[in-house]
Amino acid sequence: MKSSLFGIYLLIVVSCNNAPSLEGMFTDKLTGNNAVSYTDVTYAGNKDTVLVTTYSGRVVYRFKNQEQENVLTQLNDEIYVVRYNPVQKQVALSTMQSGIVVIDAKNGKELHKLPVKESWCLKMGYSKNFEYLFASDQKGNRFVWTVNENYKPVNLYESMPKGAIKSIENNVIQLVAKGKVIYWNLTNSTTIKEVAIKFNDFEDIDADGNILNIDRNTLSLYNIPAATIKFTLQHPGWLRPLDNFSQASIDKYKKRGITIKNGYLEEPGYHLPLTSAIFGKDEIFTSSIDRSIRVWGKDSGKLLNSLTGHKATVNKIKLSDDKNQLVSIDLKGGIRFWQIQKNE
């Protein structure tokens, strides 16, 4: 059903803008200036419960309607990516110096340390059936480990095409290379097919072959079967909280015709860079350094809603498995859960 038939109502159900003091906990490495920044988030269940990581090596549970953190573990390393394995009840962490660290999701105990030589991985994930863990490092190396065999490394033959691993499903690896997506059979080490794409990398792909790509402040939706860009979009203006301004300044903005809505000034002409984009059921969600999340119609590209309340750059957004809840994190340790409901 077309997204234009739906009205979307999203409710903020939890917010945390004041992260706890972390003095003495931060290890000065790649980004030695913000210990409280949340770096990644993943659901640890269907909804309401997520795992969040920080540059300071902290791994915490966050729960809907609870402002406090529940610390799972503290690593002496920076963490960039977190993934949850609901089958084994394990958490995989991509770090700067320790490679991939796998911990117990219940007690935080280290179970495995998977080496990544002289590099680090900003791309990592589990296969759809959670039998494999995969990662791609900054030097172009790819790694696959068999979860049920104590994370035994899988031999990836030299014949495997270049490209970062995007997913593994039914023993088929999806690789993203320059100008193409490659499907590689992990069992017999052969290429199944190659598909030409407009972009070299992308944020998300859906079952219909639609790709979301970010180029600074512009999102493009590219359709693989049609080999065309369906539409491009930008965040339409900079949302700034009214409480940042004096009444005199607000009055001045009103005279200039600047829109005031829901406690925010929206200054047109500021299309700030985007940080993330994902497909929902019938929507597209984008986040930005303008501290907002925007909701767009997947078919039309029409702006449906603007989600506000973060006090810093919104750097990551994730959807629950049923796509009925969105979670967002920011660079000041803020987190918000949003319930997605459709008015049918």
Task: Report pLDDT digits (tens) over 106-121.
Answer: 999 999 999 998 899 9
Model pTM?
0.85
Rounded distance between C-alpha atoms, residue 275 and residue 93, angstroms? 21
Q: What is the pLDDT of residues 301-324, one digit of tens each?
A: 999 999 988 988 999 999 999 999
Query: Looking at residue 251, what is its pLDDT?
Result: 84
Average pLDDT over residues 40-69: 94
Q: Domain ranges for the chain, please list them.
A: 162-196
pLDDT tens per residue, range 167-202: 999 999 999 998 999 999 999 999 999 999 988 889
| pLDDT single digits (tens) 195-233 | 999 888 899 999 899 999 999 999 999 999 999 999 999
pLDDT at 34 (0 to 100): 65
Instruction: Give tens-digit pLDDT for 42-55.
Output: 999 888 999 999 99
Residue-wise pLDDT for 294-306, tens only, equals: 999 999 999 999 9
